[in-house]
Amino acid sequence: MARRRLRLRKPRGTGEHIAATIVALAAVTLLFQMALAAQSAVARGWPFLLVLTAGGLIYGLWRLLRSARAQRARSDMLARLRITLADIDAMNDKEFEVALRDLLIRDGWPARRVGGGGDQAADVIGDHPQRGRIVVQAKHTRVGGKVGSAVMYAVKGTAGPVHKADHAVVVTNGAFTRDAMAWGDRHGVHWVDRKKLQRWAESGATLHELLGVSARSRPSRFKRAA
């Protein structure tokens, strides 16, 4: 059975019109009184609201200042960062990647660690406003270990197409095979062996000075190849 819809009908007759008018006036009066009550409450409570607002602003400013102070302290610490080869040799793979990230930040490259499963031949990526993007492949090995040409091939293959890099570098605490160094030199993949790593991490030389990377003046060879 269909339900009947209730509909309001228009007042009929003088009596109903008067009653409707009275109801409408009562409703308007009630709304007016509620508005006055709300205004009165605000007028009585404004000191509390003012204190609450001021407290919120002071707390927010304190949080910003504390964050800025912590960031400045970290920047100062990184600016003085030096890591010995002995410390590097004692690291695991993840610690080595984090150390390279911090060294890049020290040198003015805002960097992040991206290493892990499926990193596509990039463990650290840094972006510099003048020098562009650099991709770092970290190869932590036992002392005397050597990095071969296959690593250079992988870095070259993903630096531009995947990571949109301007520069690519493989860093190891060991050494490179002669073929790996020659192939990297021919194809623009930089390499940092144990000797260069000591100059970078322990002596304080910047990576871009070590590799001869200047401000960008032409499109990246990796991006052109991509």
Give the global pTM: 0.64
What CA–CA distance (Å, rounded) separates 39 from 119? 61
Which residue in the block uniquely carries the two structure tokens 């609201």? 49
- The answer to whether 138 touches 115, Cβ cutoff 8 Å, is yes
How far out from the chain centre does Cα 98 lie? 15
What is the mean predicted confidence (pLDDT) over 24-36? 83
pLDDT of residue 225: 46
Number of H helices, E strands in the chain: 8, 7
Q: Mean pLDDT score of the chain, rounded to an integer?
A: 83
| DSSP-derived secondary structure letter, 99 | H
CA quadruple 63, 64, 69, 70: dihedral, nearest 10: 70
What CA–CA distance (Å, rounded) separates 176 from 169? 12
158-202 residue pLDDT tens? 998 999 999 999 999 999 999 999 999 999 999 999 999 999 999
- The answer to whether 133 touches 126, Cβ cutoff 8 Å, is yes
pLDDT of residue 58: 76
